[in-house]
Amino acid sequence: MSSYYELWSKQVQDKRKEIDKIVGQVHKGIDLLLRDSCLDDMLYNPEIRKHENVSIGAVDGGEGLQELAGVTVYMTRASGFIKNDRSEFIRKLDLGVMPVNRQTKARVQFTRAAMEYDTATEIIDRFKPDYVLIDGSLLVGVEIDPIKIDEYHIYINSLKTLITRADEKGINLVGVSEDSTSRGLIGYLAEKGLTNEASRALGSLTDASLMQLYTQRLDDFSPIATKPFIPVSNKGRDWIRKNTGIDKSFPTFYLQATRLGRPLRVDFPSDGKGIGEKSKEIASLLTYLSQIPKRYGYPLPLYLAHSDAELPQKLMERTTLLIQKQIFKNWGDEYIAIYGKKRRDSRPTDYE
């Protein structure tokens, strides 16, 4: 009987030619796509300059879940990094237990996102920075289909409050993500009209892969960005207003700040005025913030917020253990056995 290593080795050899053929077809399609699409017309080089006198807030969050029998222990964190005359963090944390069902994970995710938006609103109220950067797409946030759980409504209200507060105080709210799956730009290019061969090439690409492939073909790299566009997948301003009460459009653009970094998807709420100039200013700022460290290609304030909010698995396990000991102990030993043991803890350790 073959070992898994032997099976793996055979598959690598057998699939090598097939992989080379598929990749070759994709690359050929890229050439056609770049030749036949209007991508070149959409690209420009953002202005590279220092933004030393700009005050910035950046927000990210983290979450953790530990399932027991019948309940899920959860923890969420949100970190807001402030850079103005001095640097500091605003931190929020929540933990508890929820019944296990199909909506448990969504409830925790909405809880974390609402906490991030509340943190961003607090930054606006306390510090009034020029920009607030949110990790994640604001457009994706408002297009989530409504779910009949309390956490969803809290989440939408927190996002609505944040957008309204930023608008009232003239603060630039920007969503930034390293999105590797979206095809909004691909859809936008396809709508402009392409040859059949170029259209087939689009089928195997995402927006991020298209930007990276274009970047790698440049002999002399300098940061590039797309002009703002409304993704084809957008449900529309009317849908957003009807389902969330947020009366904004969300222009989107992509930014390749460094050659080796991943493309950034960037969006911002807008009333439809001055979109082009605002996107250029945002692209210039994010390019400046993404040069340290240069190879990473991600805005430093968001990186610091992300690192601060990250939730270690060890902390989640420790929290679950404390909850078991402090709360479940009052139920008796039989309940501790039910809620404390996991299936892997009961597996046999040797074979007879």
- Please indicate whether residue 330 or residue 58 has the higher confidence score (pLDDT): 58
Residue with tokens 């080796």: 260
Give the residue carrying structure tokens 């997948």: 233
Spatial contact of 30 and 201, defined as CB atoms under 8 Å apart: yes
The answer, yes or no, to whether residue 349 has pLDDT greater than 80, is no
Task: Please state, in angstroms and rounded to a whole number, the distance separating the CA atoms of residues 215 and 254.
Answer: 12
In the prediction, which pLDDT does 352 show?
Answer: 46
Per residue in 12-30, pLDDT (tens digit) is 888 988 888 877 877 776 7
Contact assessment for residue 58 and residue 80, using Cβ atoms and an 8 Å cutoff: yes
Q: pLDDT class for 35, splitting at 50, 70, 90?
A: confident
CA–CA distance, 214 with 39 (Å, rounded to integer): 10
Q: Which of 113-117, 237-241, 345-349 has the lowest mean pLDDT?
A: 345-349
Alpha-carbon distances of 320 from 75, 327, 337, 347, rounded to whole Å: 10, 10, 14, 21
Share of the chain above pLDDT 70, in %: 86
pLDDT digits over 102-138, tens only?
899 999 999 999 999 999 999 999 999 999 999 999 9
Question: 172 is written with which tokens?
Answer: 């630039």
Output the CA angle 99-105-107, nearest 5 degrees: 75
Q: CB of 56 within 8 A of CB of 129?
A: yes
Q: Where are the alpha helices (DSSP H) in the chain?
A: 4-36, 39-42, 104-127, 138-142, 150-168, 184-191, 196-202, 207-216, 237-244, 275-289, 300-309, 313-326, 333-340
Ranges 32-41, 242-251, 259-268, 275-284: which has the least confidence: 32-41
Q: Is residue 63 within 8 Å of residue 74, measured between CB atoms? A: yes
Measured over the CA atoms of residue 143, residue 268, residue 258 and residue 301, the dihedral's sign is negative
Going from the C-alpha of 172 to that of each of 25, 32, 262, 301, the distances in angstroms are: 42, 38, 23, 15
Q: Are 80 and 90 in contact (CB under 8 A)?
A: yes
Q: Reduced to 3 DSSP states, what percent helix, strand and coil does the chain have, rounded to the nearest 5?
A: 50, 20, 30
β-pairing, 264-267 with 43-44?
A: unpaired
User: What's at 92, amino acid-wise?
Assistant: K
> What's the CA gap between 24 and 215, in Å, rounded?
18
pLDDT of residue 71: 82
DSSP code of residue 270:
B
**DSSP 3-state of 17:** helix
Q: Is the pLDDT of residue 60 over 90?
A: yes
Shortest CA distance to 175 belongs to which of 270, 97, 247? 270
